[in-house]
Amino acid sequence: MRDKPGSRGSVHMLSCDACDSDASALVGCHCTSLRPEERMLWTVVALMGCAVISVAQIPKYNESCVRGTYPPSPEKKVKTYVVNLDLPPEQRWTHVVEDKAVQIRNILAEFKKYALDWSPKAQGVIDWVDKNFPTLDKTLPYPFPGEMTGISKASGLKLGEVVLYNLFYEFFTVCTSIVAEDPTGKLFHARNLDFGLFLGWDIKNNTWDISEFLRPLIVNIEYTRGGKTLFKGVHFAGYVGILTAVKPTLFTLSMDERFNADGGFIGIMEWVLGDHSGSWMGFLTRRVMENATSYEEARDWLTQTEMLAPAYFILGGNQSGEACVITRAREKTLDVWPMASAGGWYILETNYDHWEKPMVLDDRRTPANKCMHKLTKQNVSVSGLFDVLSSIPVLNKLTTYTALMQVDSGHLETWIQYCKDPCFPW
């Protein structure tokens, strides 16, 4: 049974009614001047911003660069499904979602529970989403409305809930991505996806509730067209965007969240209120994987497209030295950092601008670089990168999976990750 709000001891809740003084000050809104739908959206912002995590419960851990962690036990290997892009959008995801329908419904119910924990008025947000999000589905580009309709039917969820479920993955990803080159010039791309920050720290088990719910949803997807593999990606079942993917012989891609004051909530509110000039991050990366035919073309799409949320795109090519980190604001690209400038044989990104120091309480960059230097270029491989990404705090309580990609062969393998105590929460 879940503890009542505030009883966990390590999660403290503020008063989060959208027009109460705490929340209004937090989001800077003046509720009396807003239309009802705008008040609902500011409520969402207030709810998402109200959890303050205490570090009092953080267990002591030993920061070290581990070796010999690969391969993990076979039961941690993620299953692969085929999604046929020649099928009508409404039919593409049916077999995946039917297998994972219970887990999808469970995590959506958990999202709603946390919203209601923060404020009883969150029920108004939930009701507003159920009423209005189905019509917003029609504002999305092809093929996403059809795919979400099919997911709704296969899962038994309302269409508005499926749209909200997909929207959720635009936020809360706290990740580490690496592109590295071996002595022969072969490029490997690996990433940890950490998810669920501020969403329910269980002090009894030292786990994040949402991260625990997410792990059973992780699937590999092999996208096919004309009977041939087009690209491969890692998904949470029911999510139609791309966070991690490889296009065989051409390029690899991962996305890391970029925290910024002009962040995704603002872009999402603008989209809901009628400004559709920006692209959802996951839809942009999906279009890139489907349509780009080279590293250069993928880079152009990712640098030139206006977006709803800031992000880091970690892009790897198929030639020696061909990799970069693209630092994005919503409207423009701030920086393209090539691997040659990052040190020559690898490039690494967490969730901070590479020219700035990471936050002291969330410095995964320094230990990850330390482990890469210990690894050396001579030992770059699937197993070597898995070791780096299995080293605390690069591996932490938020880590849901590690994905390993090699562009020339189109190889993708994904492993469910857990961080045993003592381990850092994020």
Q: Which residues are annotated as catalytic?
A: 175
Spatial distance between the Cα atoms of 136 and 148, rounded to a whole number of angstroms: 12
| Omega within 30 of 0 (cis) for the link into 89 | no
Distance CA 18, CA 32 (A): 11
Nearest to 121 by CA among 15, 193, 228, 249: 15
Instruction: Give per-residue burial for 164-191: e unless 16+ CB within 10 Å, then b.
Output: bbbbbbbbbbbbbbbbbbbeeebbbbbb
Question: CA 369, 375, 379, 382: dihedral to nearest 10 degrees?
Answer: -60
